[in-house]
Amino acid sequence: MANKTGKILVVDDNVGIRKALKILLPVHFAEVETIPSPSTLVATIESFRPDVVLLDMNFNTSINTGNEGLYWAGEIKKMVPEIEVVLFTAYADIQLAVEGMKRGAFDFIVKPWENDKLIETLKAARDKAQKARPSHPEQSEGSGTTMFWGSSPAMSAIRKTVGKIAPTDATVLITGENGTGKDVLAREIHAHSARRGKPMVAVDAGAITETLFESELFGHVKGAFTDAHTDHVGKFEQADGGTLFLDEIGNIPPHLQAKLLRAIQNRSIVPVGGTQARPVDIRLICATNMDLEGLVSEGRFREDLYYRINTVHIAIPPLRERKRDIIPLAEHFLAEFAEKYHRHLTGMDDSAKAALEAHRWNGNIRELQNCIEKAVILSEKETLGAKDLAIPSSPSSSLMNSTFHSERSEESSPDEETLVKQAMQRCAGNISAAAKLLGVSRPTLYSKLKKYGL
């Protein structure tokens, strides 16, 4: 069938209806997924990425007000505005239909449905969704991970900001703890930019040795040094027309920061051993888990470079500050790894959810992802429990968490100064490592060090 495109997600508690639509809809659409309730809706949307959600309005047999459907229609449009929602109900209530439209629903289908009318409506919704959704051509290698936005106020604000800045060429600085998804957010910005058809080149700036820094970023010409047997195109030129993502930019030594600043300012590079400047057209995105303002005040990061890369600053909150996203995110990973490892898993029980919400997640989303992946691989049951997750206790967690229970707290604990001293001693003065040990951010640890004159 020539017009067999689009992805449809059906959410209905009636198994007979799900089976019927699983037969009918694949004849007209490329992919069809069905789920019995909204409990896994968020995770399914993140993993399946539908164009249209055909949403039942009642999931409680004793209540037929349609409020559940209206609520979830609104949530879907908040979460992914380009998805179209078609409401599905056995009660032909025109007032309910109007209310659904107010909340962003595309249309309203009454049960029992007419096949032609249903297909026509879903196709129209699909066409609208696909026009609204930007095409995502191949991005940089390893960019398959999609951004999970969740529903926390902080992430909703970031999503709104990304929607405004992505189409521009504004330079972006992304900050956040390790494991919060800074690289994924960078790819999301590129994917929604005017440069999405061009490459996104990612560079771990902190992993490049000083001797190879210029060669890796700016390239070199044949004969520039002993092992330069051929010309080498650097990362700036590789990203020409697209996006250059410099991760861990806070780890670049000060004397190399000047060379990076010059290239960013001039939008041109001179390869090692070369004499002619080569213009480059890039959109720059940088990321770090370090406190750049603190480094500037210490003289370890150039102030002019800091302001050059900080046109738009996005700070990703740690997972412990967006607790409402933990369970949906875990469900997203559960669906992803269940498919990857061909495991039939129906979800998580209450003990697993309680364990997930109680854990601090100092490793943030990466730690949660690894936890769920391991549980999916090792579990022998269809439902994950707390024992399957095997969440380890954090070292000295009770003392650390009680002492540093809030990064905004002005109250000091009698043990706090001792803890800070011990952490700095154990980490040989490495602030990043000490902050990680204490389970706080670098800015928080800086303030504690200043407070106690350490």
CA dihedral 180, 183, 260, 303 (to 10 degrees): -30
Contact 368, 325 (CB under 8 A): no
Q: Tell me: pLDDT of 64 over 90.
A: no
Residue owning tokens 């990043």? 432
Element (H, E) at 403: helix 397-403
**What percentage of the chain carries pLDDT values higher than 90?**
44
Contact 316, 204 (CB under 8 A): no
Domains and CATH numbers, the chain: 7-132 (3.40.50.2300), 153-315 (3.40.50.300), 323-389 (1.10.8.60), 397-451 (no CATH)
Q: What is the mean pLDDT of residues 45-71?
A: 76
**Integer Cα distance of 427 and 433 in angstroms:** 6
Contact 24, 124 (CB under 8 A): no
**What global pTM score does this model have?**
0.59
Query: Among 111, 7, 104, which residue's Cα sits nearest to residue 50?
Result: 7
Paired with 31 in beta bridges are 7
Evaluated on CA atoms 183, 187, 190, 192, the torsion sign reads negative
DSSP string of 144-192, one letter each residue: -PPP---S-HHHHHHHHHHHHHTTS---EEEE--TTS-HHHHHHHHHHT
- Give the model confidence (pLDDT) of 188-232 as tens digits: 999 989 898 888 999 988 788 888 888 889 988 888 777 777 888
Helix (H, G, I), strand (E, B) or coil at 35: strand
Q: Tell me: pLDDT of 65 over 70.
A: no
Residue 439 per-residue DSSP state: T
Q: How confident is the model at residue 397 (pLDDT cuts 50, 70, 90)?
A: very low
Evaluated on CA atoms 175, 178, 182, 183, the torsion sign reads positive
Query: Among 22, 170, 187, 151, which residue's Cα sits nearest to residue 74?
Result: 151
- Give the model confidence (pLDDT) of 133-169 as tens digits: 654 333 333 334 568 888 888 998 999 999 899 999 9
User: What is the reported pLDDT for 415?
Assistant: 58
User: What is the reported pLDDT for 189?
Assistant: 94
Residue owning tokens 């968020």? 42
User: What is the reported pLDDT for 365?
Assistant: 93
CA distances from 164 to 134, 168, 284, 315 (A): 14, 8, 16, 16
Q: How many CA atoms lie within 13 A of 12 on its CB side?
A: 25
